């Protein structure tokens, strides 16, 4: 009987750092989009806000799927 495959900690740590950096960039982009949409009434900034939120979620999904797919 075999146990679960071992996790490569270095690879997962790198994925976590990349995901965190993407989320920070998406946070500032979403904030800029929200300010532009609400304060300056720029309709196209709503798309920037939505895109930043979706990109942040995609980065988190990428991290989780990376745990599932182990080398």
Threshold 0.75, pTM exceeds = yes
Q: Which two tokens stand for residue 39?
A: 């304060």
For residue 19, count other CB atoms closer than 10 A to its CB: 19
1 occurs within a structural domain: no
Distance of alpha carbon 7 from alpha carbon 70, whole angstroms: 7
> Is 3 among the domain residues?
no
pLDDT digits (tens, 9 = 90+) for 33-55: 999 999 999 999 999 999 999 99
Q: Would you place residue 67 in the very low, low, confident or very high pLDDT band (cuts 50, 70, 90)?
A: confident
pLDDT computed for residue 2 by the predictor: 77
How many domains is the chain built from?
A: 1
pLDDT at 57: 99
- Does the residue 4 lie in any domain? no
Range of the domain at 13: 9-68
Q: Does the residue 41 lie in any domain?
A: yes
């Amino acid at each position: 009987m075999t146990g679960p495959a071992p996790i490569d900690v270095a690879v997962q740590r790198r994925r976590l750092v990349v995901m965190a950096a993407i989320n920070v960039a998406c946070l500032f982009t979403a904030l800029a989009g929200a300010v532009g949409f609400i304060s300056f009434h720029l309709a196209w900034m709503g798309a920037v806000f939505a895109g930043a939120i979706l990109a942040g979620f995609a980065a988190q999904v990428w991290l989780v799927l990376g745990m599932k797919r182990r080398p």
